Amino acid sequence: MPSPHAASASRLGGVRGASVQRAVSLCWPAGGDSRNGHECSDPQGLRDHSRSSSQDGLPTGDRPGALRWPQHRPGQGAAAPRAHGRQNPRAGFHPGRPALDRSLRRPCGGRPMSTPKLDIDRTRTKLNTLGLTYAAGHLDYLLAEAVAKEIAPHAFLDRLLESECSGREERRVKVSLKMSGLPTGQTLENFDFAFQPAIERSRIDTLATGAWIRNAETVLMQGPPGVGKTHLSVALGTRAIELGFSVLYYRFDELMTALKVDAGLPPSRLKRRRYMNMALLIIDELGFEPMTREEASLFFRLITYRYGRGAILITTNKSIRDWTELLAGDEILAIAILDRLLHHSNVLNIKGRSYRLRDLEEALRIANA
């Protein structure tokens, strides 16, 4: 009686030889080099040949594992035929064609596979998790645009990030304007320069660049009421916020109230007040009423601290020679304050008709027409 090892050798010996060679030759081209990456060109022929090999004395259930065809198991999809040899990494590559437009083809020929679909909801959730809320909100629109216009992946990503940056910048400007206390609706675009020829447009355009704020300089606008001082100061403050500077607007009487409330604070706490550390402090309507000795002293402390640290814009109806009277008649204090304000300054003397009187005259003309 032959040993089990002999029986196994007999079965394997029946497979080796012409049967295997014929099966292999159906899959590989002449030359037999599997490294060329050729796929099986005749899987049906190989299956027919493998069925015939079972008649050579080897039952189908007793075939060695290397020659068995994969069996379909419950719960599994049909197994795709394996290609012999190593796949060509550039197979199916077409220069100039977008990656999303390439069709994936099954081995051994066959119909194209469907392009993988991106889980939009999952991507949107991840963007929101990362705090990219504006990018998440624009994701659907930008994806549709990218597909319709065949936008390259890197360009799509750039547009997605740009939407996030734009949204954040718009929110920053909106919040900063609200926190600044600036009146709304007064901009450089709607200022009537033609009505006020005394104002040099070129100087205002230079101030609109924000260089003076970066250098912690002073802008002093002086002139009679109604000539546009407040409008220009608010417009320059709005432009400063758009440029990225922090801005705080005060009418002089409101500022003096805040200074009196904080008069007893130690310097370590006082310097944390917003009117001390904003990049630009706008003080509007200085000079309508003279200051008391206490108010002049508090104003001097404010100017002294901000000197060289932050920019100041002041509008006043008083000329420089009237500041001694404005500051409780203290000439020494007036000189000390003006010395700091005018050291690095831009002085605008606005002389002209009042916008308010012009509007009143126009209203009366229409009423009498």
CA–CA gap between residue 78 and residue 107 (Å, rounded): 14
Q: Domain check: are 208 and 277 in the same one?
A: yes
Q: Domain check: are 341 and 213 in the same one?
A: yes
The domain that holds 341 is classified in CATH as 3.40.50.300
Q: Domain check: are 169 and 217 in the same one?
A: no
The answer to whether 182 and 175 are in contact (CB under 8 A) is no
Residue pointed to by tokens 């089990």: 4
pLDDT of residue 226: 87
CA–CA gap between residue 219 and residue 233 (Å, rounded): 9
What tens digit of pLDDT does each residue of 286-328 get? 998 999 999 999 999 999 999 999 999 999 999 999 999 999 9
More confident residue, 209 or 107: 209
Query: Is 268 within a domain?
Result: yes
Please, what is the angle between helix 293-306 and helix 331-343, to 10°? 20
Q: Could you give the angle at the alpha carbon of 296 between the alpha carbons of 292 and 300, nearest 5°?
A: 170
Decide which of 154, 179, 204 is a domain's last residue.
179
Query: Is 347 within a domain?
Result: yes
* Residue 236 parent element (H or E): helix 229-242
Q: Domain check: are 173 and 185 in the same one?
A: no
Residue 18 CA: distances (Å) to CA of 21, 28, 55: 5, 15, 14
Average pLDDT over residues 207-232: 95
Single-letter code of the amino acid located at 107? P
Query: Is 288 within a domain?
Result: yes
What are the residues facing 346 on neighbouring strands? Answer: 219
CA–CA gap between residue 139 and residue 143 (Å, rounded): 6
**Neighbouring C-beta atoms of residue 340, cutoff 10 Å:** 18
Average pLDDT over residues 35-53: 46
pLDDT of residue 298: 96
Going by pLDDT thresholds of 50, 70 and 90, the confidence category of residue 161 is very high
Q: Domain check: are 127 and 260 in the same one?
A: no
Q: Domain check: are 142 and 249 in the same one?
A: no
pLDDT at 101 over 50: no
Query: Is 52 within a domain?
Result: no
Q: Domain check: are 153 and 189 in the same one?
A: no
| 239: nearest Cα among 273, 194, 280 | 280
Q: Domain check: are 201 and 311 in the same one?
A: yes
Q: By residue range, what is the domain housing residue 128? A: 120-179
pLDDT of residue 111: 52
What are the strands, taking DSSP E only, across the chain? 104-105, 112-113, 218-222, 247-251, 280-286, 311-316, 345-349
Decide which of 179, 204, 229 is a domain's last residue.
179
Instruction: State the number of CA atoms in the 13 A half-sphere of 305 facing the CB.
Output: 20
Residue pointed to by tokens 């037999």: 32
Average pLDDT, the chain: 78
Looking at the structure of the chain, the number of domains it has is 2
Average pLDDT over residues 96-114: 47
Query: Is 104 within a domain?
Result: no
Per-residue buried b or exposed e for 17-36, using 16+ beta carbons within 10 Å of the residue's own CB:
eebeeebeebbbeeeeeeee
Query: Is 345 within a domain?
Result: yes
Evaluate if pTM is beyond 0.85. Answer: no
Query: Is 316 within a domain?
Result: yes
Strand-pair category, 345-349 with 218-222: parallel
Q: In what order do the strands lie in the sheet with 247-251?
A: 247-251, 280-286, 311-316, 218-222, 345-349
Query: Is 206 within a domain?
Result: yes
Average pLDDT over residues 61-73: 46
